[in-house]
Amino acid sequence: MSMMTAAQYEESLRKLDLVVYMFGERIDNVVDNPIIRPSMNAVAMTYELAHKPEYRDLMTATSHLTGERINRFTHIHQCREDLVKKSKMGRLLGRKTGCCFQRCVGMDALNALSIVTYDMDQALGTEYNPRFLAYLEMVQRGDLVCDGAMTDPKGDRSLPPHKQPDPDMFLRVVEKTAEGIVVRGAKAHQTGAVNSHEIIVMPTLTMREADGDYAVSFALPADAKGITYIMGRQSCDTRKMENGKLDQGNIRFGGHEALVVFDDVFVPWDRVFMCGETEFSGILVEKFASYHRQSYACKVGVGDVLIGAAQTAAEFNGAERASHIRDKIIEMNQLNETLYCGCIACAAEGAVEPSGTYCVQTLLANVHKQNVTRFPYEISRLAQDIAGGLMVTLPSEADYRSETVGPLIEKYFRTREGVSTEARMRILRLIENLTLGTAAVGYLTESMHGAGSPQAQRIMIARQVNMNEKKRAARNLCGIEETDGKNQD
Catalytic residue among 191, 278, 357, 435: 191
Q: Give the separation between CA 229 and CA 227, rounded to whole angstroms.
A: 7
Question: Does the active-site annotation cover 298?
Answer: yes
Q: Does 364 bind a copy of itself (CB under 8 A)?
A: yes
In angstroms, what CA-CA distances link 73 with 56, 118, 125, 136, 236? 13, 20, 29, 11, 30
Question: In Å, how far from its chain's centre is CA 98?
Answer: 13
287-316 positions binding a copy of itself, by CB under 8 A = 304-309, 311-312, 315-316
Q: Judged by CB, which is closer to a copy of itself: 141, or 449?
A: 449
**Counting contacts by CB under 8 A, is residue 148 touching a copy of itself?**
no
The distance of closest approach from Cβ of residue 53 to a copy of itself in the complex, given in angstroms and rounded to an integer, is: 18
- Widest Cα–Cα separation across the chain: 85
Q: What DSSP element (H or E) covers 199?
A: strand 198-201
Instruction: Sketch the per residue contact string, 152 through 171, with a copy of itself: x for CB under 8 A, - otherwise.
Output: -xxxxxx------xx-xx--
Catalytic hit among 146, 275, 298, 346 = 298
Among residues 64, 75, 197, 292, the one annotated as catalytic is: 292
CA distances from 264 to 31, 174, 176, 185 (A): 26, 7, 11, 8
The answer to whether 346 is a known catalytic residue is no
Q: Tell me, by CB under 8 A, how many residues bind a copy of itself.
A: 162
56 binds a copy of itself (CB under 8 A): no
257 is catalytic: yes
Strands of 329-375, DSSP E: 351-352, 358-359
Q: Give the pairing of strands 172-176 and 180-191.
A: antiparallel
Minimum CB–partner distance for residue 205 and a copy of itself (Å) = 15
404 annotated as ligand-binding: no
Beta-carbon contacts of 344 under 8 Å, excluding residues fewer than 6 positions away, are 84, 87
Q: Interacting stretch for a copy of itself, rule CB under 8 A, among 59-67, 125-133, 277-285, 469-477?
A: 469-477
Using the minimum distance from each CB to a copy of itself, give the nearer residue, 178 or 478: 478
- Which residue number, 1 or 473, has a Cβ lying nearer to a copy of itself? 473
- Distance, CA of 441 to CA of 248 (rounded, Å): 14
Closer to a copy of itself by Cβ: residue 177 or 488: 488
Sign of CA dihedral 463, 466, 472, 475: negative
Q: How far is the CB of 49 from a copy of itself (least distance, A)?
A: 13
Q: Are residues 143 and 72 in contact, defined by beta-carbon separation less than 8 angstroms?
A: no
Parallel/antiparallel/unpaired status of strands 60-62 and 216-221 = unpaired
* Interacting positions 122-141 with a copy of itself (CB under 8 A): none
Residues 333-362 close enough to bind a copy of itself by CB under 8 A: 333-334, 337-338, 340-342, 344-346, 348-349
Judged by CB under 8 A, the stretch of 135-143, 198-206, 219-227, 365-373 that binds a copy of itself is 365-373
Q: CA 126 → CA 130, 156, 208, 218, distances in Å? A: 10, 34, 20, 15
Among 65, 174, 283, 419, binds a copy of itself (CB under 8 A): 419
Is 296 assigned a catalytic role?
yes
Binds a copy of itself (CB under 8 A): choice among 1, 24, 125, 489? 24
- Closest distance to a copy of itself from the beta carbon of 427 (Å): 6
Contacts of 470 (CB under 8 A, 6+ apart): none
Q: Per CB under 8 A, which region of 51-59, 131-139, 292-300, 438-446 contacts a copy of itself?
A: 438-446
393 is annotated as an active-site residue: no
Helix (H, G, I), strand (E, B) or coil at 388: coil
Residues in region 196-255 near a copy of itself by CB under 8 A: 228, 230-236, 238-239, 245-247, 249-253
Q: Is 77 a residue of the active site?
A: no
- Does 370 bind a copy of itself (CB under 8 A)? Our answer is yes
DSSP H or E segment with residue 376: helix 375-387
CA 387 to centroid of chain Cα atoms:
27
484 binds a copy of itself (CB under 8 A): yes
Contacts of residues 132-136 at CB distance under 8 Å and 24 or more positions apart, as own/partner, are 132/273, 133/65, 134/270, 135/219, 135/270, 135/271, 135/273, 136/65, 136/74, 136/76, 136/110
Q: How far is the CB of 56 from a copy of itself (least distance, A)?
A: 19
Q: What is the distance between the alpha carbons of residues 397 and 402, in angstroms, rounded to a whole number?
A: 8
Choosing from 66, 122, 177, 455, the residue that interacts with a copy of itself (CB under 8 A) is: 455
33 binds a copy of itself (CB under 8 A): no
Among residues 10, 257, 277, 397, the one annotated as catalytic is 257
Which H or E element spans position 275? strand 272-275
Stretch that binds a copy of itself, among 47-55, 111-119, 131-139, 320-328 (CB under 8 A): 320-328
| Residue with Cβ nearer a copy of itself (142 or 388) | 388
| Number of neighbours of residue 310 by Cβ within 10 angstroms | 28
Catalytic residues: 100, 104, 191, 257, 292, 296, 298, 446
Q: Which residues are annotated as a binding site for FAD?
A: 191
Residues forming the annotated binding site?
Answer: 191
